[in-house]
Structure 1
Amino acid sequence: MRPLPINPDESPSYVLELIYRLKIRNVMTSRLVTCRKGDTLRHVQALMKENAITGVPVVEGPRLVGLLSVDDIIRALDGGYIDEKAERWMTRNLIVLEDDMPLSFGISYMEKYRFGRFPVLNRNKELVGIVTSRDIIVALLVEINGEMERLEREVLPRPESAAGRSRREFSTRRFDFENAGRASSEIKRMLKEQGVEPGLIRRVAVAAYELEMNQVVHSVGGRITFTFDGERAEVLAVDMGPGIPDVEAAMREGFSTATEWIRSLGFGAGMGLPNARRVADDFSIESEPGVGTTVRAAVRLKAAAARGDRDAHSGSSRPS
Structure 2
Amino acid sequence: MKPVAYVRARTVQEAVFTHAGRPEARYLGGGTNLVELMKLGVERPDVLIDITRLPLDLIEEPGDGSVRIGAAVRNSDLAAHPAVRDRYPVLSQAVLSGGSGQLRNVATTAGNLLQRTRCSYFQDVSRPCNKRVPGSGCGALDGVNRDHAVLGHSPHCVATHPSDLAVALAALDAVVELTGPAGLRTVPVTEFLRLPQDRPDLDTMIRPGELITGVLLPPLPDGAVSRYRKTRDRASYAFALASVAAVVQLRRGAVRHVTVAFGGLAHRPWRARVAEAALLGTVPTAAAVEQAVEAELAAAVPLRHNAYKVALARDLAHEVLGSLTAT
Report the TM range for the smaller structure's normalisation: under 0.3
Rg larger in structure = 1
TM-score by length of 2: 0.26
TM-score by length of 1: 0.27
